[in-house]
Chain A
């Protein structure tokens, strides 16, 4: 009988395990429905067109997939579930989608007319209110929308987001709930008055923060976020926050931007390498290329991979608030001391190009060498400049752990050229790293990549380099730069505006508040059975054109 006591102890252990595992049966109510191919056979319901189900790697966060959320991966889902006023084609050129027309005479007030035949997938029509209410909601401070600061473009933002008075850190109640710059003119027409002229405003309206919202959202935002409803070519059928979003083609969506695939499943991968392997194992249809595979991905996927000029860049913001870096000669010398060509060739073969400015080559209006000679490697000049400065101590570059290798090479380059000691302060997590920049406590240059929100030159220059810009952690403020930006923004002719933006870049080249390092290329691989997939300048496939052959 003694043995039974021994087994009793063991069974207790196993029983506990089973109990913990048993919890699963109660909580599995939100398991993906049968529409989710979730690693299944992959081919969805065949609707005659043979569109199939695309399984796409996409690192969605747990934040709600609604226009108030600012997150690249979430935006990629929204672009399928919504149709904004404009969409971007494969060359990043905007075209009118939900908008019939967007008209202006002064680059400040825009009259937007909607196409009348758009509906949300719950059947309610898309009207001017769908836009006006959504924008007002996002802009209103107490609603705590991540996208809020973007709406400062529009007149009346301050009234919705009063700043805290001097000496207090509590902001007063807003004095208004709606933006004075938004006016409904009719069921399908409204006007937008901007705080400052911005001729490229129509081009930014394809960004997901400007998408319309149905009435069900305003009635109960939390319930709505459980399975958001949009007006786009695809409709959400299941959503497991941070894990998987499944979409099917919207029934009766009859517009030029209709999708080809029957269904799209976005599956979140915490590691890019796992996603890449999943495509190799035919468990996934698209994955971005992790940097470790850049040298070999074209051999792994000879017929189903692509590399495009991307629109994101890597750079270092220099803390102008640190005495050491106040002298522009110090910053220019650092920039000229970096052998971008060799670093890119060694670390990102074929996946990046040395940056010659702050606007990506993929954008309309790009001009080679906009920065001037200060962004090119010139050890002699760098040494001569450095000799003129009195730089105390050494250079400490703050970076995020994944870019350790890159910035160690940048450091090496600086030390080799200037003879100054340089070290990398690597931060393991995003929050700490962002905290250092945002508290203006960077001891030296800090890595600060930039990916465009929408394809305009303005988006690569204004948030980072204007005084008070939403991503200006250098405390850079230049009236000369600002004047050129203002001129460019007021210029309705795109070519003339580009000239002004490039002149503004030359000012940056002279002041060098930020050292550009490289422009990122977008690289992706897809499964053999995926057809029609095109990578765009966003470094992301145009999923409306892709489909599966079974």
Chain B
């Protein structure tokens, strides 16, 4: 297990370097000078453009700029945005909000999909299962921004149960509605995956064996069945959690959440190469780490998937 983890950690390095190079190149390839358009509707003075270009080192050759970026990341100094803010501060403000939003959303997904999915699987083709199937199809086909708008208007404006938008401090209670909206898309997928594996597992040999051994039904389902059902759902959950940490531009916009999604969006618009690369690097690290954790967890669940 340790050897497996170590090997995976070493693999991170080329992935990260490759990804940052691609990201760096893409932002750099976007047309338009980042400084020319920074003076509202009038032209910036030539001196302004020159000073800013030198200050942020954009006059240096691209490989050199990239190496400076790498050096900065490793020394923990992330540099400044074009507005003169520390990038670490900017990320430090946005990431906790996004992380809490993602976490709440994942909890909602786990609770609901486990309850509904497993119940449907145990009573496959029963009335509950059929209703759940229809429900999940409807959820799956709803565009997320429509759900977001309707939920915001009905719950926030008409019924006045929640605040329609999230305030700057983003307290957890205000994040519940957007997190629930974000959960909807994956919820349907998770439910179906769980239902399918439970329904399939119910007829599997190992379950018959377990029952024949005389285990209590709760143990048969709770341990023997669940171990085999968990792996695929865990993979989906892991990917979803990483995706949520990468930010969600549309839902953040609708609920005015100041998170990672909007940060990347604006940084790309403003050609803030450093900010984009730093945040993207961070998101990739999340993906890799979460992926690793999921793989380790799956290996624990299913010895067959251990490859070392």
Does B168 contact A36, Cβ atoms closer than 8 Å? yes
Contact with B along A3-46 (1 / 0, CB 8 A): 10110111011001110110110011011100010111000000
Does B300 contact A20, Cβ atoms closer than 8 Å? no
Question: Does B192 sit at the interface, judged by CB under 8 A?
Answer: no
Does A27 contact B92, Cβ atoms closer than 8 Å? yes
**Which of B84, B90, B103, B297 meets A10, CB within 8 Å?**
B297
Does B156 contact A431, Cβ atoms closer than 8 Å? no
- State the majority secondary structure of interface residues on B: helix
**Which of B90, B96, B226, B270 meets A21, CB within 8 Å?**
B96
Question: Does A281 sit at the interface, judged by CB under 8 A?
Answer: yes
Q: Using known A-B contacts A274-B253, A431-B271, determine if residue A149 contacts B43 with beta carbons closer than 8 Å.
A: yes
Kindly list chain B residues whose C-beta atoms are within 8 Å of the C-beta of A277: 152-153, 156-157, 164-165
Q: Which residue of A lies closest to B165 (CB)?
A: A278
State in angstroms the CA–CA spacing of A150 and B39 once bound together: 10
State in angstroms the CA–CA spacing of A2 and B299 once bound together: 12
Q: Using known A-B contacts A21-B103, A270-B262, determine if residue A149 contacts B39 with beta carbons closer than 8 Å.
A: yes
Question: Does B38 sit at the interface, judged by CB under 8 A?
Answer: yes
Question: Does B238 sit at the interface, judged by CB under 8 A?
Answer: yes
**Which of A21, A23, A146 meets B39, CB within 8 Å?**
A146
Question: Does A67 sit at the interface, judged by CB under 8 A?
Answer: no
Q: Using known A-B contacts A243-B168, A277-B156, determine if residue A271 contacts B34 with beta carbons closer than 8 Å.
A: no
Does B223 contact A24, Cβ atoms closer than 8 Å? no
Does B254 contact A273, Cβ atoms closer than 8 Å? yes
Question: Does A164 sit at the interface, judged by CB under 8 A?
Answer: yes
Kindly list chain B residues whose C-beta atoms are within 8 Å of the C-beta of A283: 163-165, 167
Q: Using known A-B contacts A5-B300, A20-B99, A278-B164, determine if residue A147 contacts B39 with beta carbons closer than 8 Å.
A: yes
Q: Which residue of B lies closest to A283 (CB)?
A: B163
Does A434 contact B296, Cβ atoms closer than 8 Å? no
Question: Does A495 sit at the interface, judged by CB under 8 A?
Answer: no
Does B83 contact A38, Cβ atoms closer than 8 Å? no
Kindly list chain B residues whose C-beta atoms are within 8 Å of the C-beta of A430: 37, 269
State in angstroms the CA–CA spacing of A170 and B43 once bound together: 18
Does A429 contact B85, Cβ atoms closer than 8 Å? no
State in angstroms the CA–CA spacing of A31 and B38 once bound together: 28
Q: Which residue of A lies closest to B168 (CB)?
A: A244
Does A270 contact B253, Cβ atoms closer than 8 Å? yes
Kindly list chain A residues whose C-beta atoms are within 8 Å of the C-beta of B46: 141, 161, 163-164, 171
State in angstroms the CA–CA spacing of A429 and B276 once bound together: 15
State in angstroms the CA–CA spacing of A463 and B253 once bound together: 34
- Best-buried of B44, B153, B289 by chain A (most CB within 10 Å): B44
Does A13 contact B83, Cβ atoms closer than 8 Å? no
Selecting from B25-33, B119-127, B199-207, the interface stretch reads B25-33
Does B230 contact A6, Cβ atoms closer than 8 Å? yes
Question: Does B129 sit at the interface, judged by CB under 8 A?
Answer: no
Question: Does A142 sit at the interface, judged by CB under 8 A?
Answer: yes
Does B96 contact A9, Cβ atoms closer than 8 Å? no
Question: Does B147 sit at the interface, judged by CB under 8 A?
Answer: no
Question: Does A384 sit at the interface, judged by CB under 8 A?
Answer: no
Kindly list chain B residues whose C-beta atoms are within 8 Å of the C-beta of A278: 164-165, 256
Does B41 contact A471, Cβ atoms closer than 8 Å? yes
Does B83 contact A274, Cβ atoms closer than 8 Å? no
Question: Does B67 sit at the interface, judged by CB under 8 A?
Answer: no
Question: Does A72 sit at the interface, judged by CB under 8 A?
Answer: yes
**Which of B47, B256, B262, B268 meets A429, CB within 8 Å?**
B268
Does B41 contact A451, Cβ atoms closer than 8 Å? yes
Kindly list chain A residues whose C-beta atoms are within 8 Å of the C-beta of B297: 6, 8-10, 12-13
Kindly list chain A residues whose C-beta atoms are within 8 Å of the C-beta of B241: 13, 17
Which residues 68-91 of B sit at the A interface, judged by CB distance below 8 A?
Answer: 81, 83-85, 89-90
Does B50 contact A17, Cβ atoms closer than 8 Å? no
Number of interface residues of A (CB under 8 A): 86
Does A240 contact B93, Cβ atoms closer than 8 Å? yes
Does A142 contact B167, Cβ atoms closer than 8 Å? no
State in angstroms the CA–CA spacing of A449 and B42 once bound together: 11
**Which of A28, A270, A434, A470 meets B256, CB within 8 Å?**
A270
Q: Which residue of A lies closest to B152 (CB)?
A: A277
Question: Does B195 sit at the interface, judged by CB under 8 A?
Answer: no
Does A17 contact B30, Cβ atoms closer than 8 Å? no
Kindly list chain A residues whose C-beta atoms are within 8 Å of the C-beta of B294: 13
Q: Using known A-B contacts A31-B169, A240-B93, A267-B168, determine if residue A70 contacts B48 with beta carbons closer than 8 Å.
A: no
Question: Does A225 sit at the interface, judged by CB under 8 A?
Answer: yes
Which residues 422-480 of A sit at the B interface, judged by CB distance below 8 A?
Answer: 429-436, 438, 449-451, 463, 470-471
Kindly list chain A residues whose C-beta atoms are within 8 Å of the C-beta of B52: 144
Q: Which residue of A lies closest to B254 (CB)?
A: A274
B300 to chain A, nearest CB (A): 4
Does B39 contact A70, Cβ atoms closer than 8 Å? yes
Kindly list chain B residues whose C-beta atoms are within 8 Å of the C-beta of A81: none
State in angstroms the CA–CA spacing of A10 and B300 once bound together: 10
Does A275 contact B169, Cβ atoms closer than 8 Å? no
Does B95 contact A64, Cβ atoms closer than 8 Å? no
B141 to chain A, nearest CB (A): 23
Does B269 contact A144, Cβ atoms closer than 8 Å? no
Question: Does A211 sit at the interface, judged by CB under 8 A?
Answer: no
State in angstroms the CA–CA spacing of A225 and B86 once bound together: 13
Q: Using known A-B contacts A141-B47, A270-B252, determine if residue A431 contacts B258 with beta carbons closer than 8 Å.
A: no
Q: Using known A-B contacts A6-B300, A10-B297, A161-B46, determine if residue A32 contacts B169 with beta carbons closer than 8 Å.
A: yes
State in angstroms the CA–CA spacing of A471 and B41 once bound together: 7
Kindly list chain B residues whose C-beta atoms are within 8 Å of the C-beta of A12: 293, 296-297
Does B164 contact A27, Cβ atoms closer than 8 Å? no
Which residues 256-306 of A sit at the B interface, judged by CB distance below 8 A?
Answer: 267-271, 273-275, 277-278, 280-284
Does B163 contact A171, Cβ atoms closer than 8 Å? no
State in angstroms the CA–CA spacing of A438 and B42 once bound together: 10
B100 to chain A, nearest CB (A): 5
**Which of B32, B92, B168 meets A431, CB within 8 Å?**
B32
Kindly list chain A residues whose C-beta atoms are within 8 Å of the C-beta of B293: 9, 12-13, 16
Does A70 contact B42, Cβ atoms closer than 8 Å? yes
Q: Which residue of A lies closest to B98 (CB)?
A: A20
A294 to chain B, nearest CB (A): 17
Does B51 contact A141, Cβ atoms closer than 8 Å? yes
Q: Which residue of B lies closest to A28 (CB)?
A: B96
- Best-buried of B81, B268, B297 by chain A (most CB within 10 Å): B297
Does A32 contact B84, Cβ atoms closer than 8 Å? no
Contact with A along B264-296 (1 / 0, CB 8 A): 000011110000000000000010011001101
Question: Does B160 sit at the interface, judged by CB under 8 A?
Answer: yes
Kindly list chain A residues whose C-beta atoms are within 8 Å of the C-beta of B45: 141, 148-149, 161
A-B contact pairs, 30 of them (CB 8 A): A6-B297, A9-B296, A9-B297, A12-B293, A13-B238, A20-B245, A23-B95, A27-B89, A38-B167, A64-B83, A141-B45, A143-B51, A144-B51, A148-B47, A148-B48, A164-B46, A241-B90, A243-B93, A270-B253, A274-B256, A277-B153, A278-B256, A280-B164, A281-B164, A429-B30, A430-B269, A435-B33, A438-B33, A451-B41, A471-B43
Add 4 more A-B contacts to A282-B160, A434-B32 (CB < 8 A).
A12-B296, A147-B39, A240-B93, A438-B36
The 7 closest A-B pairs by CB, nearest first: A9-B297, A24-B96, A141-B47, A39-B167, A435-B32, A281-B164, A434-B37
